Amino acid sequence: METQIIKADKNTDLEKAGEIIKKGGLVAFPTETVYGLGGDAFNPDSSKKIYAAKGRPSDNPLIVHIAEMASLDRLSTDIPDKLYRLAEAFWPGPLTMIIKKLPDMPEETTGGLDTVAIRMPDHPVALSLIKAGGGYIAAPSANASGRPSPTLASHVAEDLSGRIDMIIDGGEVGIGIESTIVDLSGEVPMILRPGYVTAEMLERVIGPVETDPTLMKKTEGGRPKAPGMRYRHYAPKGDMQIFTGAADHVTAMINEKLSSETRKCGVLCCDENAGLYKKGIIRRLGSRDDMSAVALNIYRALREFDDEGVEQIYAESFDTQGLGQAVMNRLLKAAGFNIINTEGTK
Ligand code: TXA
Ligand code: MG
């Protein structure tokens, strides 16, 4: 299959792309978080094609993207008040909410679960495409399974060219890590994946929110509640270690490792420390005072390390306040929770 690539801005006519979706084809498109790989959420064959194109296990449910609040009616009759309050505060935006679904939504889309994950993205191209494509687009991140999520159309082309009908190039995304996922189907809302919308931001609107305890540390027998968080994705090809502790200890220990390591090394660090490393390919993620820059650069840096054949990655750690929690969750997952505490205690 030849993959057509089109450039788009907010005024581009997306009728043709919408037709592809309606006919059961796949279109990758920009959102504010990462690029998504879209198909008609109500067409089980489209969802099967999404799994096949990504090489993704089919028990890992997809997020259904909508463009209007009225679209909720076809998804659920059991919509909690908290969804409306959070939608009012954060939609369109980087928040996915899980609720009980209606039987019409094919199990191919929801991985056989009785719940559905829903998001209204904050991106003009995404919103136009959803409308042109019939209102309900199932879309995981548009990377091959196991690769970092795409923040540029070229990342999508690298992973999925020849496997999907179209890629809409809307330039670099704004946020760079996937949406926050909050499960509203149980007693107490629970964050299944941290993102740009933090626990504190959610709590200000709906009161107490729990966080899946397996997201930030390796737990004995602990299983993340979102199926997709169980796989070691966001994974670079090289080995990766994260160093915690006082900043000067971290840079000293990474320099020590760099000097003794014979394999090709990469360093992921903040702007402030970038000049301190003596060897290796240095990728600065951004200033520690600007966690949104750090979030935007993580996946791109990991892909660049892959492209350059980096075999060992050393990463600094970041404070887990606010957006830092989502940043550290992605780094920890990329490293398979391989952490070295430079203070010596475990
Ligand atoms: O920012 C985003 O959310 C991007 C853009 C394209 O919107 N999409 C995205 O989709 O990250 P994906 O498929 O890569 O991640 C969806 C996550 C997976 O971890 C999946 O297991 C979880 O959401 N998920 C989806 N439906 C669920 C459900 N009903 N219950 C629990 N987890 C669910
Ligand atoms: Mg993904």
Choose which residue among 178, 212, 333 to substitute to test ligand 1 binding: the one with the highest number of ligand atoms within 8 A of its C-beta: 178
**pLDDT tens for residues 45-81?**
999 999 999 998 888 899 999 999 999 999 999 899 9
Q: Is residue 194 part of a domain?
A: yes
Question: Domain total for the chain?
Answer: 2
Choose which residue among 141, 147, 184 to substitute to test ligand 1 binding: the one with the highest number of ligand atoms within 8 A of its C-beta: 141
Reference 138, options 184, 75, 73; nearest CA is 75
Residues 264 and 187 in one domain: no
Residues 47 and 176 in one domain: yes
Residues 204 and 78 in one domain: yes
Residues 168 and 309 in one domain: no
pLDDT confidence band for 226 (50 / 70 / 90): confident
Question: How many angstroms is it from 149 CA to the middle of ligand 2?
Answer: 6
Percent of the chain with pLDDT over 90: 87
Residues 178 and 247 in one domain: no
Q: Is residue 224 part of a domain?
A: no
Residues 200 and 256 in one domain: no
pLDDT value of residue 346: 45
pLDDT at 220 over 90: no
CATH of the domain at 53: 3.90.870.10
Question: How many angstroms is it from 140 CA to the middle of ligand 1?
Answer: 6
Average model confidence (pLDDT) for the chain? 95
Residue 97 lies in domain: 4-211
- Collect all residues with Cβ–Cβ distance below 8 Å to 94 and sequence separation of at least 6: 32, 33, 121, 122, 175, 178, 179, 180, 195, 196, 197
The 3-state DSSP composition of the chain as helix, strand, coil percent (nearest 5) reads: 35, 20, 50
Question: How many angstroms is it from 60 CA to the middle of ligand 2?
Answer: 10
Q: Which of 194, 211, 228 is the last residue of a domain?
A: 211
Task: Indicate the pTM of the whole model.
Answer: 0.96
- Collect all residues with Cβ–Cβ distance below 8 Å to 264 and sequence separation of at least 6: 238, 281, 308, 309, 310, 311, 312
C-beta of 63 in contact with ligand 1 (< 6 A): yes
**pLDDT tens for residues 176-197?**
999 999 999 999 999 999 999 9
Residues 154 and 297 in one domain: no
